[in-house]
Amino acid sequence: MSRLTAALPILVLAIWLARSTIATYGGWYYHRALHRRTSPSAEARICVIIPVRGVSVHLPSLCEALSAQHYLRWRVVFAVESAADPAYAALAELLAATNGLAAEIVVAGPATDTGQKVHNQLAALSRLRADDEVVVFADADIVPPADWLTRLAHPLRDPDNAVVAGYRWLMPEDDRLATAFVCLANASIAALPRLRRWNLAWGGSMALRRSTFDALDMRRWWRGSLNDDLQLTRAVRSRGGSVFGPTALLLPSPASFTWREAIAFGRRQYFQIRVYAPRHWLLAAAATTWPILGWAVAVPAALGGDRLAIGALFLACGLHQWRASLRVRVARTVCGERRGAARLLLFDRWAVPAWLLFHAAIIWSTLFLRTINWGGRTYRVDGPQRLRIIAESAAWPPTP
């Protein structure tokens, strides 16, 4: 027993360093692949579906970015819950002022047995036309570059790519510590290689051929579901397909969080992952928890003069410094030079135990979670397609 006790700290440090090495290699590989660009191809006709609830300060930026797309044969369908939602009037005003953007707004009505986002998307699907060849789903908080649709649609020429999905790169819009921690946690996920076997679709930017979408029968998969993208991933894998995640499809997403908002956002993400992709939840929990164990073992031992612990600390810190540098290069490639980049790098370099602890705590806090608040509603979720709306805020929708 004493030998096992003596070997346990060594095992913790070894796994910590192995995890850090793999993460660093992944960050290097991702950064190297980020500069690959897609050549323009023949353009299929695209219908973009964007559910909107409430008015974000970034909604005008989204409409402006959509108007600047280089893609030619496409249109967008915005889906809102009701005409009383401030998003309806805001979108109508923005679209009236937008030159040449083919767009319409669908009023979905209140959800009864699904999440409101999924309900809005289902309503928008009724506006698909016979000649729509590609369906794209996007979130209202992205600011896509002008070649977004080109890069999203091009890989669908390969029949092995059932779904093509990007991911968000959160950009800090303020100097709050909560915003920095969320952005760092997101960056640690975003700058990982996209492996077909494990890749998940992200509803903020995902595309699939119309024929694939029809064959999946997503209306059946989305019935009773809070989630859209992870359910889509499950549907695709049930038919032997995979999700392709091009490295270059990182999309700038402005971010601003109070601590309350940061915790709610993080718990909502990981709650859905636990319900709809439990193996990924376990992997995320392990990947964030093990470095904390490594720090907890290494720091006291190093202070006591243990050479192995001192060496492990130096190596782990060196690898993290490299990862932090790689992440700031990714940020500059995706978002350009921004005001918050230098401050975010400072936190990434020197506050890693703190934001890692925050990230791990958010993940573990969802282990037994069954209810979640989202967009003014409280949902009880007992399984991927077992959902009940148990409360609704009288204060929703908020005034813009």
Report the distance separating Cα 312 and Cα 298, nearest Å: 7
70 or 37, which is more confident = 70
**What's residue 214's pLDDT?**
93
Q: Is the pLDDT of residue 151 over 50?
A: yes
Mean pLDDT across 56-82: 92
Phi, psi for 146 (deg, rounded to 5): -65, -25
Average pLDDT, the chain: 88
Residue spans of alpha helices (H) in 34-85 = 59-67
Identify the three-state secondary structure at position 253. strand
Average pLDDT over residues 219-230: 95
Phi, psi dihedral angles at 244 (to 5 degrees): -95, 125
Contact 149, 71 (CB under 8 A): yes
What mean pLDDT do residues 324-348 have?
76
Label residue 340 by pLDDT band (50, 70, 90).
low
pLDDT band (50, 70, 90) for residue 173: confident
Residue 2 or 222, more confident: 222
Q: What is the pLDDT of residue 262?
A: 96
Per-residue model confidence (pLDDT) at position 38: 54
Across 135-164, average pLDDT: 91
Taking the alpha carbons at both ends of the chain, their separation in whole angstroms is 63
Domains of the chain: 12-31+280-364 (no CATH), 43-276 (3.90.550.10)
Q: Which two tokens stand for residue 44?
A: 């299929």
Q: Are 177 and 99 in contact (CB under 8 A)?
A: no
pLDDT per residue as tens digits for the range 197-219: 789 999 999 999 999 999 999 99
For residues 284-306, give the mean pLDDT: 91
Total-model pTM: 0.90
The dihedral through the CA atoms of 255, 257, 262, 268 has a sign that is negative
Residue 1's pLDDT is: 46
Which of 20, 11, 28 minimizes the C-alpha distance to 352? 20
Q: Give start and end residues of each alpha helix (H) in the chain.
A: 2-33, 59-67, 86-97, 116-125, 148-153, 177-190, 210-216, 218-222, 229-238, 259-276, 278-303, 307-335, 341-350, 352-364
Give the per-residue pLDDT at 400: 45
Would you say 47 and 136 are in contact if contact means Cβ atoms under 8 Å apart? Answer: yes
